[in-house]
A and B are shown apart, each in its own frame.
Chain A
Amino acid sequence: MWRRSFLWSLSLAGGVVPLVAAASSDESRAPGGEEVAERWKRFAAAACLQIPERDVEQIAPSLERLKAGVRRALQADLGFIEPLVFFRFPGGVW
């Protein structure tokens, strides 16, 4: 029972949609130095992100690791599971 009410409680959080980037990530190739950085630079350019190229080079390995981890996390079939956030109920729903 705690889960039902607790899920609702978490669903109250958030409410702000994060940035919708205009390009999709390239998930096809294994991480590999410059190639990885170039891929994220292309992403940044396509999404019109005004991030200096040297910054993209710096964060590219971390992004690559995180995206790979999340891909693994999402391999499970989530079926009709709905996201936790985006719902706000006046007066609370605990």
Chain B
Amino acid sequence: MSEGSLATLGIRKLAPLLAARKLSPVELTESVLARIEKKNPVLNAYLAVLGEAALEQARQAERDIQAGRYRGPLHGIPVSVKDLFHVRGTPTTAGSKIFANFLPDHDATVVERLRAGGAVLLGKTNLHELAYGITNDNPHYGATRNPWRPTHIPGGSSGGSAAAVAAGLCAASLGSDTGGSIRIPAAYCGVVGLKPTFGRVSRWGVMPLAWSLDHVGPLAGTVWDAAAVLQAIAGPDPRDENCSPRPPADYLRSISEGVAGLVVGLPENYFLDRLSREVEKAVRAAATRFAELGARVEPVRLPGIEPATDLSRLILLAEATALHQKNLRARRQELGPDVRALLEQGEFILATDYLNAQRARRRFLEELEGVFRRVNLLLTPTTPITAAPIGQAAVDVNGQSEDVRLASTRLVRAFNLAGVPALSLPCGFDSEGLPIGLQIVGKPFDEATVLRAACAYQEATDWSDHHPPDA
């Protein structure tokens, strides 16, 4: 085993070794820190590495495990969080020059919960400025690079988290998703990313971008690992009034139940239009695999899906500009040009536009409810393309030029509007060896079925067994 590759074993394999004291949390942490030191200068996945603090947490985990106080599958596991999450005493830059010196005096709820589970926090990962973009080409802290091909974007805005997981620079990470920011980098980096139901995971202590669209969730190497992290972070939080008081399900208990008997909807409009041929082929093959595994795959239609994507964009523009308006007006020159342009667009949104978009949002939810009366899950591509080269603004999708940002987000945004759970996992590679993502969408609060289906597919294929060169 090459140095530093321990993290790619994943939580499911590492946890029993740690619990049985066959692997020391300190040894594991040192190994991953050494790998970060070696790889991060190229990948730029981490903005802050908390080496000393991580080693102290690892030593504490070792003492606890030796004393018989094993806390569960995250105990002693090295993890990271996007630099949008507050970690007491460590700056939360949000990838922005404006917040470079913002020092929170508390941990985000999800960081507290990772700590309570015994996880070892290695550091904070790079992101698109203010989490407002999908390239992770950060003008202030440098571009994050895709471990599969360092000349290409990792996706964003949780691009540092996805790159870190893919490269074995942590076993799991936390990201946020306002318009695909967990699922897009998961797809482009060949890892698993889950956007849970709106309100399933607390957002307290996480810098917002758009209040009605923001979600917090895990990125990991496998579906089982993502479920283990979700189990640790999900649940009520009185400090976040948008967080549901419903107790979370036992995600790991049902995860191996397979897909026999489930009805899986394959949208025949919108989601299979304007895809790269390789993406379409991979997603259709995945649908066939689900049928072979015992699911009933049925065609469905979502007539409101295309408008929903525009509504989601408009709501995001309005809410993000409302949030950052003061800085837009007072510190315009400190913002990167793409984020500045988006915040400026938000100034042009009328209150009536915003309110009508929120009204139409109900219509889309009703439509989706109708679809989910007939199916348990939806299966779609996560993105119509694979990762684009860094700095490239447009891509060719079957002879049509399309903006990289719009192409990357057009299959994922609507599920932020609807707030339903959606997960991306690998379903193939294109001819250049870049990963392709499959999106599985479920009913509100039914993460258990999403994870169960994703796990069945992952275990029936070998896409997640592939790792980037030297990972």
Contact = CB atoms under 8 A, between A and B. Distances in A.
A74 interface: yes
Contacts of B246: 94
A17 to B, nearest CB: 6
Contacts of A24: 350
A9 B242 contact: yes
Interface string A1-45: 011001101101111111111001100000000000000100110
Given A2-B443, A66-B313, A73-B311, A81 B363 contact: yes
B433 interface: no
A25 B321 CA distance: 18
B444 A18 contact: no
B245 A94 contact: yes
A27 to B, nearest CB: 11
Interface residues of B, number: 54
Given A12-B241, A13-B198, A58 B341 contact: yes
A76 B241 contact: no
B102 interface: no
A85 B316 CA distance: 13
B405 to A, nearest CB: 10
B212 A84 contact: yes
Interface stretch (B11-19, B136-144, B352-360): B352-360
Given A3-B369, A9-B419, A18-B322, A78 B360 contact: yes
A53 B444 CA distance: 44
B442 to A, nearest CB: 11
B349 interface: yes
Contacts of A6: 365, 419, 444
Interface of A: 2-3, 6-7, 9-10, 12-21, 24-25, 40, 43-44, 47, 49-51, 55-56, 58-59, 62-63, 66-67, 69-70, 72-74, 76, 78, 81-85, 88, 92, 94
